[in-house]
């Protein structure tokens, strides 16, 4: 079993993020600086790397999916900035640095997040069309919009807020995880599969893989909040308990939560069996997510 991370693809993403970072008027320098501060802080680039892995699995050059991959990292960064705000999780540390609102103020942080979200769509519309026909381009745009709306990330975050401190059942907990975290991860993989020229069946197999991978990712995130270190994860640990959030380790204990993560990672890998395309790096990624410590 390989635990290696696709550093080659992460490098491509980091280079492309520099290339695609939006230029803006000098009057907006503080908002632009806040966007850049959060975007170029040291993240794993997990979602854009997953986009490239999905395109590559279907036999495409992963570079053809770079604009949409970077757009997904813009959106992810937007969600982190807003998630850290005092009105939501009220965190002062992210990716090992002061959060955006601590460094630039709440007003600038809100605008920086909003701008990253809009610029994600500008990026896809201007750059991705060089590598995709109109039909596949529109499909990716629909994926991004749906994954972030009321039935996607915003919906998951809303239920999470409403469930804080409440006695949450398993279905609701899975709803929160699958939407707050899983929606964008699934969209990242689906966009890669769409742009990689996947058939409906191939896109479906990658989608099923990513759905289970997204849940694994969030269960491990919750476990790291209990057993991880601030240095390792780059944010304060123990915040879920402080914020009275329901989590898998909170409900089941760390060992059983780890078993759940193991089971969901196995389901992700199983979704690829018999897929008929090259799945080794997607399988490696599932094993990495399961064992990750940051």
Residues that bind ligand GRG (CB under 6 A): 43-44, 46, 75-76, 78-80, 82-83, 88, 95, 148, 153-154, 157, 180-181, 218, 221
We find the least distance from the C-beta atom of residue 278 to ligand GRG, in angstroms, to be: 24
Burial of 292 (0-12, 13-18, 19+ CB in 10 A): buried
Q: Which helix (H) or strand (E) holds 18?
A: helix 7-20
We find the least distance from the C-beta atom of residue 9 to ligand GRG, in angstroms, to be: 14
How many helices (H) and strands (E) the chain has is answered by 16, 2
Nearer to ligand GRG, 76 or 136 (CB): 76
> What are the residues whose beta carbons fall under 8 Å from the beta carbon of 227, sequence distance 6 or more?
254
Nearer to ligand GRG, 109 or 275 (CB): 109
- Nearest CA to 14 out of 51, 42, 33 is that of 42
We find the least distance from the C-beta atom of residue 195 to ligand GRG, in angstroms, to be: 21
Contact in structure between 216 and 290 (CB atoms under 8 Å): yes
Nearer to ligand GRG, 89 or 202 (CB): 89
We find the least distance from the C-beta atom of residue 44 to ligand GRG, in angstroms, to be: 4
Nearer to ligand GRG, 112 or 153 (CB): 153
| DSSP-derived 3-state class of residue 93 | strand
We find the least distance from the C-beta atom of residue 4 to ligand GRG, in angstroms, to be: 17
Tokens of 257: 């939560």
Contact in structure between 88 and 161 (CB atoms under 8 Å): yes
Nearer to ligand GRG, 58 or 66 (CB): 66
We find the least distance from the C-beta atom of residue 45 to ligand GRG, in angstroms, to be: 7
Nearer to ligand GRG, 88 or 204 (CB): 88
Q: Is the dihedral of CA 63, 64, 66, 72 positive or negative?
A: negative
What is the largest distance, in Å, between two alpha-carbon atoms of the chain? 55
Residue 94, beta-bridge partner list = 97
Q: Which residue is nearest to ligand GRG (CB)?
A: 43
């Amino acid at each position: 079993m390989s635990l290696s991370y696709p550093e080659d693809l992460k490098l491509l993403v980091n280079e492309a993020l520099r290339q695609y970072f939006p230029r803006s008027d000098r009057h907006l320098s503080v908002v632009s600086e806040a966007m850049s501060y959060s975007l170029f802080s040291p993240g794993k680039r997990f979602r854009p790397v997953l986009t490239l892995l999905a395109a590559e699995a279907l036999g495409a050059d992963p570079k053809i999916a770079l604009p949409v991959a970077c757009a997904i990292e813009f959106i992810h960064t937007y969600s982190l900035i807003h998630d850290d705000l005092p009105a939501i999780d009220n965190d002062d540390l992210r990716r090992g640095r002061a959060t955006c609102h601590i460094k630039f103020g709440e007003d600038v942080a809100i605008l920086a997040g909003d701008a990253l979200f809009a610029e994600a769509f500008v990026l896809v519309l201007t750059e991705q069309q060089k590598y995709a026909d109109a039909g596949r381009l529109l499909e990716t745009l629909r994926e991004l919009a749906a994954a972030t709306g009321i039935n996607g990330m915003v919906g998951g975050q809303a239920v999470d807020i409403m469930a804080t401190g409440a006695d949450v059942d398993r279905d609701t907990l899975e709803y929160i995880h699958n939407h707050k975290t899983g929606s964008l991860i699934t969209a990242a993989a689906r966009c890669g599969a769409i742009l990689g020229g996947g058939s409906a069946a191939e896109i479906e197999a990658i989608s099923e893989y990513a759905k289970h991978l997204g849940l694994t990712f969030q269960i491990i995130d919750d476990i790291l909040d209990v057993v991880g270190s601030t240095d390792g994860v780059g944010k304060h640990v123990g915040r879920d308990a402080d914020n009275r959030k329901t989590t898998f380790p909170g409900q089941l204990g760390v060992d059983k939560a780890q078993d759940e993560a193991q089971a969901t990672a196995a389901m992700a890998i199983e979704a690829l069996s018999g897929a008929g395309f090259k799945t080794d790096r997607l399988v490696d990624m599932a094993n990495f997510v399961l064992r990750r410590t940051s």
